[in-house]
Chains A and B, each alone.
Chain A
Amino acid sequence: MNLKKWQQDFYQGIFHPSQNNIQLACQGINTTGNLSASQRLDIYRDSILGGITDGLSGVFPVCENLVGSQYFSHMLTDFLKQNPSYSPDLGNYGALLPNYIAQFKPAKDLVYLPEVAKLEWLWHKAFNASDVHNNNAAIYTLEQLASITENEQGRIQFVLQPSIQLMQSDYPIHLIWEMNQDNYDGQKQVDLNEGEVNLLIFRAPDYSMHINPLNKDEFIFYQALQAGLIFLDIAKLTFTAPIETLLAPAIQSGLIIGFNIA
């Protein structure tokens, strides 16, 4: 038995359990006592798929809540087969789940489900993002803004704090998310036709998590910052309000942590 070949066969027998793959995976495994080799493989399959499913429930608890845990694991069956986990950290697995849910026909009536999944993934990324004090993306601190010359001003590239995530949705998914949190006791109904929402997801320095709705101006502004646009180019975008009214609160709230000169 070649160990590498057997590990590959075992992996196939777990994730792609065709009769042929199971047979290959069972080669060299003892059938003793009350269990056949393939029953022994089943024990590992249940454990592996159960473990990864638990990991995903931890990242997508609202989705799980919305469809029920049985349906959630049923929905994941093919996802786990099609999308191997390439990191030893289970927390890095699941980025592709929102797209998968969007393609998952049996759940197509839950039009908002892929969007809720995306919101949960971004929340998870914000939760685990690097801390501001460990981040060296900005060369200059905000105090140094005062000493910037006029000809440098247009070339300022503001740096957002590392946890910031942005998303747009056709549905009020932030309300759906909120309604599915423990201890929620607000309104019990959401109007799906409320119109699109723009959301800013971030982790504050005190580690509290926030999902804030933005107006169109704010959303365009933060999107431009996240794309690394220089201030001159941001100023050319179309806003209904003066750009200073967008910049000042972003600085005061700590969402902008510093800047570079391009």
Chain B
Amino acid sequence: MSQLKFKSNAIYGAGLGLRASHYQEVLSSKPNIPWFELLADNYMSDGGLPIERAHKIRQNYPITLHCVGMSLGSCDPLNINYLTRLKALSEKLEPAYISDHLAWASIDGQYTHDLLPLPYNAHTLDHMCERISKVQEFLGRTILIENPSSYLTFEESDMTEWDFISQMAKISGCELLVDINNIYVSSINHKFDPLHYVASLPAEKVKELHLAGFTKMDNYLLDTHSEKVHPPVWQLYRAAIKQFGATPTLIEWDSDVPDFATLHQEALTAERHMWALSQ
């Protein structure tokens, strides 16, 4: 079995999203980061350097696999080819968690490569739960579902996002990846109380948190993952830690990626909050 060559796959503390521009530094200086998140979709090809590097990283760190391609909210059939590749990758890398989003990404086989919103009602709840269950059965494990950031709402939504997510976790047995920045961004865009959102989630289901920086536009906040975590998001994070306890937290930074030291600083800040508030 391959388990022996890996460190334990349990994660704690603040991890970082692995970015191509940081591989070299991570592999040569082996920084003291508790875990890395790999975007599974970047490691789905047949072979090559990225996959080799993922294995090297995994020999030194626990990892999680984060996905954007399951398209769980889509009305298309599940993409079995994608899930098969994901399963193979997960058997090789033994991630602590596998996650994807409360969103859809494709229709009629055509992919937008984005995370698109869903109306929150009983019909969508059935649809999501059925598909999450199928994926969990296929992968032979529980997955985490992340709350999206969004820019529109539907006339046909008759539940709040937090109610929807809480019920989804209860019915499908999935666990939760709570993106604190996404809650904040959506709370400004759709005018709800982000503290109430956090307080309404089932704490025992929350296994991982995300933090990131948004960009302020004229009339709304855009979830760009291109800046430092903003002060109100840190504030909401502190509330989340108080409620959920010390939950593994990831700093996401996907565009205008800074040097590794800056990224690491953000993770250390998260850990300071985490350890101070979770006693």
Contacts and interface: CB of A to CB of B under 8 A. Distances in A.
Interface of A: 1, 3-4, 7-8, 10-11, 14, 28-30, 32-35, 37, 39-41, 43-44, 47-48, 51-52, 54-55, 84-91, 127-131, 134, 162, 203, 207
B3 interface: no
B110 A11 contact: yes
A127 B109 contact: no
A127 B112 contact: no
Interface of B: 41-42, 44-50, 52, 68-71, 74-75, 79, 82, 104-114, 116, 118-119, 123-124, 127, 151-156, 189-191, 219-220, 222, 255
B222 A43 contact: yes
Given A30-B152, A40-B151, A129 B46 contact: yes
Nearest to A30: B153
Contacts of B191: 32-33
Among B45, B68, B82, B119: residue with most chain A CB under 10 A: B45
Given A51-B113, A84-B110, A88-B69, A29 B41 contact: no
Contacts of B44: 89, 91
Contacts of A54: 255
A44 B75 contact: no
A55 B39 CA distance: 14
27 contacts: A1-B155, A4-B107, A7-B116, A8-B108, A28-B156, A29-B152, A32-B153, A40-B151, A43-B222, A44-B116, A48-B112, A55-B113, A86-B111, A88-B41, A88-B68, A88-B69, A88-B71, A88-B113, A89-B82, A90-B113, A91-B45, A127-B48, A129-B45, A130-B47, A131-B48, A131-B52, A162-B46
A34 B220 CA distance: 9
B154 A1 contact: yes
Given A28-B154, A130-B47, A131-B47, A48 B75 contact: no
Contact of B107 (A7, A32, A87, A203): A7
Nearest to B222: A43
A6 to B, nearest CB: 8
